[in-house]
Structure formats: C-alpha cells, structure tokens
Amino acid sequence: MVSKMNGETLDLTKQNIERLKELFPEVLTDGEKIDFDLLKTVLGEVVEDNNERYQFTWHGKKQAILGAQKPSKGTLRAEPEKSKNFDATGNIYIEGDNLEVLKLLQKSYNGRIDLIYIDPPYNTGKDFVYRDNFKKSIENYFEQTMQVDSKGNRFSTNTESNGRYHTDWLNMIYPRLKLARNLLSDKGAIFISIDDHEAANLIKICDEIFGENCFVCSAIWRSSDNSNNDAKQFSNDHNYTLVYSKKPLWQPKKQFDLSKQQHFKNPDNDPNGPYFDGNPLNSPNYRENLIYDVISPTGHVIKPPKNGWRWSKETLQQKIETGEIRFTEDGKRFRRRTYLKDMTGLPPSSLWTDLERTGHNRQAKYELLDFTSVA
C-alpha cells in the first residue's frame, strides 16, 4: 500500500546547510548563516573581505586554516628495536611534530577514533611552543598586524598590543584541532585541558571547528592540593577540561560512585549478590493514586507517608512479587532492596574535586619524574 504524502516539499536549502554543518561546522556563524568567504578559505582559496560581520578572528587565521590542509612531507617509520611486543601490541606510540603526525594519521584513522585527549600549552608566558620566545615582541606584532609603518611609527594611538599574547597560540592550536576532529568517529569526543589564559579563546575555536551544538561540558578540575596563601588576588586552584563531541547529543557512560559501593552487603547470601536496603519508599510529590494502605503477610496495616508511596498499588505489588520489596519479620515495615549489579550509575559531574580520583598538578610532576628516572 502506498503511503500518503504529507504535501510538503523537501527543504533543499536547509538540507544543504545541514550537510555543510556536518562537513565544515566552522563556516556556520550566527546560527544558520554561512560564511562563504570562510568556506572558500577552507576549500583552499584565500579571500580578502572588509565587510563587517560576527566572527572570531586574529592575525594569521587564514594561514592556520590553510596550514591544516597542506599535505605532510613526512612519513611514519616503525622502530621494532625500540618497541615492546611490536607484533602483538595494540598500541602505537609516535614521536614527532604533532601537526605532521596528525596529518599522517588522516588517511588511516579518519573517523575511527572514539576518544582524543590533548593537553596543549596553556600560554602562561613560560611555555615553549616551537619558538625560543613564544610571545611575540610588541614591535614584531605591530609590524605583522600593520599597526606601524616601515620606520616603526604607529598608525594610531589605540594599538592592539594584547593580541600578541594570543596570536601564536591560536595559530598553533587551530590546525591541530581541525585535524583532530577529522579523526573522531561519529560516537567520538575530544577532551582538552586548559587554564584561564586561553580558556575563552579555546571555547570560541572549538565552537567554530566542532560546532556549538557539539559542546558537551566545561569541567572544572581542582588541580591544586595546596592553595597559594601568597596570592595577590585569588589562589588559582583549578583548571578546565573542555569536552566536545563529533556529533550532537553525544552521551558519556554513566558512572557509579565507588564510594557508595561499601553500603552494599550480602549477609544472607542473596543469589543476586550485594544489595542495599535503605532506599526511599515515599514519593517526593503528592499524588492521590499513591495514597493507600499496604497489608503485610502478617496482617499488619502499613499506612502511607505524607505524599504517598513511591509507586502505584499495582507497581508495588509487582515489586513485592519480584523480591525487590521485602517485609520485615514482624510485618510492620517493608524495605526496597537494590542490587549492586543493577546500578547503572549517574552522569559524570562537571565539578572534579576528589583529589584521590582525579589527582593534582604536583602529583603529576612526581609521577613524571618517577616514570623518567633511571635506577
């Protein structure tokens, strides 16, 4: 039987925009508007345009975009003599310039990686990033951004000197994130560590490359185990971990709080394993169908709490039959039994403060020293 048509035509424009959003999320600006000049740049054509519009830009951005598309001239060389279990291992450790390596991985691992974690330089002013001096000098920055003439005379008194702290970092990170996105599978996500120096810029870049609708979380990690009592303003005790997914509506695995596992016991050798009997039985909100008496096997009448029971009468009876609800020996109360094996966990929190589980900066230094030390 032929199904009825709904009489609506296919919105080709919307469909094409969705395709562009999937292939090149960075060319979408202000919601559904396409930056055609940026699209041309992404496709390899340099465009000059003075029209004003909302955009996140900096000196060298177009070159950074084009740089991600330039083929690598390098090659990956296997070194079995330096490897462990070369023929059997499922791991790959690569030494090399990370931009070149990312380019070399594009063909073999495009769309195959489920999780990427990167810990880029934080641009604190002390980082070494492919230059002896990561920060541009003010004079050099003014010259590159054409704020001074050939003799060093400034064109305006309101010079934009602050940009020198960000330009190199932005040009460094952009092509690497662009290439990293290509490696992610449709169920993949990327986790990026960062601090306050470039967190705002990193969010803007990731919104452009991955798409705002693929932003998952900006987790706050308590990275210090000891506050700075000599700080002039605030003791900076945290960093961030930005999470972006390849596709919208990505969901992480739910986690069960291991600290709660100690509450699950099995004193009567229940074949279903450890359990917990202290779960709430009352409803958080009043509903009339939840107000009813429960008759125990000993004939006792158990009155409902103020808002009623947590389930309807029919559902409660089913839970009694399955053994999830069990009456005490005197029949005056009943309990809800929850098994450890059935715990599905909760969504992970965006606040990471448990140093025992997430560690801290000093601990990382100690572990690195221990890892690299020679006995």
- Could you tell me if 177 and 264 lie in one domain? no
- pLDDT band for 375, please (50, 70, 90 cuts): very low
- Could you tell me if 68 and 211 lie in one domain? yes
Q: How far apart are CA 375 and CA 99, in angstroms?
A: 34
- pLDDT band for 284, please (50, 70, 90 cuts): confident
pLDDT (average), residues 234-239? 82
- Could you tell me if 117 and 205 lie in one domain? yes
User: Which of the residue ranges 6-15, 92-101, 192-201, 359-368 has the most confident prediction, judged by mean pLDDT?
Assistant: 192-201
Residue 27 domain flag? no
pLDDT (average), residues 35-49? 71
- Could you tell me if 120 and 168 lie in one domain? yes
Residue 112 domain flag? yes
Q: Considering only 104-108, 170-174, 319-323, 364-368, which range has the smallest mean pLDDT?
A: 364-368
Q: Considering only 161-165, 283-287, 322-326, which range has the smallest mean pLDDT?
A: 161-165
Q: How far apart are CA 207 and CA 209, in angstroms?
A: 6
- pLDDT band for 183, please (50, 70, 90 cuts): very high
Residue 87 domain flag? no
- pLDDT band for 314, please (50, 70, 90 cuts): very high
Report DSSP state, residue 348: P
- 304 or 160, which is more confident: 304
- pLDDT band for 123, please (50, 70, 90 cuts): low
- 289 or 95, which is more confident: 289
Specify the pLDDT at position 263: 80
Residue 365 domain flag? no
**CB contact at 8 A, 148 and 155:** yes
Q: Which of 200, 218, 245 corresponds to the end of one domain?
A: 245
**Could you tell me the residue range of the domain that residue 123 belongs to?**
57-73+96-226+235-245
- Could you tell me if 219 and 277 lie in one domain? no
- Could you tell me if 316 and 192 lie in one domain? no
Q: Which of 194, 214, 245 corresponds to the end of one domain?
A: 245
Residue 39 domain flag? no
Specify the pLDDT at position 3: 37
- Could you tell me if 201 and 288 lie in one domain? no
Cβ-based neighbours of 346, under 8 Å, separated by 6 or more: 254, 255, 256, 257
Q: Which of 182, 215, 245 corresponds to the end of one domain?
A: 245
CA-wise closest residue to 220 among 195, 254, 245: 195
Q: What mean pLDDT, rounded, does the chain reach?
A: 78
- Could you tell me if 218 and 262 lie in one domain? no
- pLDDT band for 7, please (50, 70, 90 cuts): very low
Q: How many domains does the chain have?
A: 2
Residue 48 domain flag? no
- Could you tell me if 181 and 202 lie in one domain? yes
**CB contact at 8 A, 187 and 3:** no
Residue 44 domain flag? no
Residue 10 domain flag? no
- Could you tell me if 198 and 310 lie in one domain? no
- Could you tell me if 129 and 218 lie in one domain? yes
- Could you tell me if 240 and 277 lie in one domain? no
Sole residue written with tokens 């309990």: 335
Q: Considering only 41-45, 72-76, 113-117, 208-212, which range has the smallest mean pLDDT?
A: 41-45
